[in-house]
Amino acid sequence: MMIRILQTFDTFTLRQKEDAPDGSYPPPSWKGAPGRKGIEEVWPGMAITLFVKGGCWVHMSPADS
C-alpha cells in the first residue's frame, strides 16, 4: 500500500537536517568516517517487523468523485 501512495508523487527531497528532531540524524563525529558511515544523512536503526503469514488480503474500491 505504501508503494502505491508513493507512486502518486514525482519528487522527493530529504530534509533530515531541516526537519528531523535533534538526535535523529548521524552525529558530527561520523563525518569523514570510512564507508557509508561517513556520508550517511540518516541514522539507520533496527527493529523487528511482524508480518501476516500468507499476506493480508484487502479489497479496495475507488472513491466516488
* DSSP, res 63: P
The whole-angstrom separation of Cα 9 and Cα 3 is 11
The set of cell numbers assigned to 31 is: 563525518
Q: The cell 530529504 sits on which residue?
A: 14
Q: What would the mean pLDDT of 17-28 be, rounded to a whole number?
A: 85
pLDDT digits 0-9 by tens, 24-56: 888 889 888 999 889 888 887 889 988 888 888
- Does pTM top 0.75 for this prediction? no
The whole-angstrom separation of Cα 39 and Cα 35 is 8
